[in-house]
Amino acid sequence: MEWIIVLAVIAILLLWGPEKIPKIARAIGQARREYERASREITDEIRTAVSEGPTSPSRPQQPDVIAIAKSLGIETEGKTREQIADEIATKLKEKK
């Protein structure tokens, strides 16, 4: 197993060279941070929609938690909107 890792590292060094590896690692880190930020924003929007309840004319329309849950394949029968929002957040974290 160690030999496979060593060979992979050598192959990467030969393909991109030692000066490119930090740039690649930095780009991967930035992409991961951006993905996590977007995931947090979606989760926050869902929780806000659940806590605010139905929309009113003075408040802009929020995303429909039940429709989002169904699109992710989550059962909504007999659950509160808050439970559904928690399951949506869990499902989104699993997709990372």
**Alpha-carbon distances of 91 from 7, 42, 86, 95, rounded to whole Å:** 36, 12, 9, 6
Q: Can you give the residue ranges of every domain in the chain?
A: 2-94
**69 close to 92: Cβ distance less than 8 angstroms:** no
Q: What's the pLDDT score for residue 54?
A: 59
Mean pLDDT of 63-81: 84
CB atoms within 10 A of CB 65: 21
User: Residue 79 corresponds to which tokens in the numbers above?
Assistant: 């659950």
Mean pLDDT of 38-48: 88
Enumerate residues 6+ apart whose C-beta is below 8 A from 21.
Answer: 12, 13
Q: CA 76 to CA 83: how far, in whole Å?
A: 9
Residue 56 has pLDDT above 70, yes or no: no
> What are the pLDDT digits (tens) for 74-87?
888 888 888 888 88
